[in-house]
Amino acid sequence: MYTYPDVDDRITLRFIDEAEPYPGYWARSDERAMARAANRLAKLLGPRETVAALDVGCGPGRMLSWLARLAGTIVAIDPDAARLARATEMAAALGDSAGIETRVSTVDEVTEGPFDLVLCSHIIQHIPTTELVPLLNRLRELTAPDGVLVLTYTRAPVGAERFTLDRVTGGGVESLDVDQARFDEAAQGRLAEKVLPIHYRDPIQLAQLGRRLGWSEVWSWSFHVLQDSPRFRAVADRDELVNATPALLRKFGRDAVALWRPQTATGAFPDADNARR
C-alpha cells in the first residue's frame, strides 16, 4: 500500500511559509495561474455537463472545486488511502451536483474513459524518473482524441534540472541536492527516512518529451516566482512580467501549468502566450 511521504503536506506547507516573497503570494499566484488555465480550457471543452474529467493523484482534493467548474462528472483517484479519504470528504462538501467519484487507485487500474479533461497536478515531480514515460503514455490513453491534459509540475530554470530531498528540521525545511539515483531511491520509497523527493523539471525538455509521445503543448504558464529581482519591485504582478518576458521565463518560476492535447486533436488554439515558445 502506497503512502505519500509528505504527511498532511507538512513539508510543503512549511516550505511555502519560508519561501513565499510576501504573505499570501503562493495562494494568489496559484489561483491566478489556474484561473488562466480554466479560461483557456473553457475554449477547448464543451459545456460543463458534457465534460468528463479524471483527477490523477487528487491528494486531499485541493483541485476538485476548480475541476467541478469545468466538468459535470469527475473520477478522482489517489494511491494513498488516507489522502483519498480527505478527497472524499471534499467531494461530499461540494455536493452530489459536482458528480465526483473518489477511489483509491493507480492510473493503470482506471477502467473508464477516455476523459475529455485529465488533471495531473503536482505528481510528476515526485515519481521515479523511469515512471514518467509510462505515466504520460497512460494519460494519453485516458485522454479523448479531442481532450486536454492539464499538467502542473515543479519546474527548473531551462537547462538546470535538479533533484532534491526535502525534510523539516528544527530550523525549517532543508532541501538536499541529490543525484538522480538517490532521488529514484527516495521516490521508490526505499529510504528509511521520510523525505519528499522533488524533481525540478526543465519545461522545454518536458514539452519535447511530450511531443515524442504524441502530445502537443498548446499553452503554458509559470508561477510561484520565488526568486527575487529588482524588476519585480516595480510591478504589481511578477508572474505576468515573467510570463511576458522570454529571458525571465527561462529562469523564473518554481511551478508551471501546461495544457497538452493529443496530436490528433482538432481545432487551432491561437494564443499570443504561445508565440514565445
Ligand X SMILES: C[S@@+](CC[C@H](N)C(=O)[O-])C[C@H]1O[C@@H](n2cnc3c(N)ncnc32)[C@H](O)[C@@H]1O
Residues in touch with ligand X (CB under 6 A): 4, 56-59, 62-63, 78-80, 83, 106-107, 121-123, 126-127
| Least distance in angstroms from the C-beta of 125 to ligand X | 8
Looking at the Cβ atoms of 85 and 251, the one nearer to ligand X is: 85
| Least distance in angstroms from the C-beta of 183 to ligand X | 14
Looking at the Cβ atoms of 80 and 166, the one nearer to ligand X is: 80
151-170: b (≥16 Cβ within 10 Å) or e: bbbbbbbeeeebbbbbbbee
Looking at the Cβ atoms of 53 and 123, the one nearer to ligand X is: 123
C-alpha dihedral sign at 244, 152, 92, 7: negative
| Least distance in angstroms from the C-beta of 103 to ligand X | 12
Number of H helices, E strands in the chain: 10, 10
Nearest to 217 by CA among 249, 174, 260, 184: 260
Looking at the Cβ atoms of 30 and 202, the one nearer to ligand X is: 30
| Least distance in angstroms from the C-beta of 257 to ligand X | 10
Looking at the Cβ atoms of 62 and 250, the one nearer to ligand X is: 62
| Least distance in angstroms from the C-beta of 211 to ligand X | 22
Q: How far is CA 139 from CA 60, 99, 149, in A?
A: 21, 21, 8
CA atoms within 13 A on the CB side of 197: 25
d(CA 208, CA 224): 23
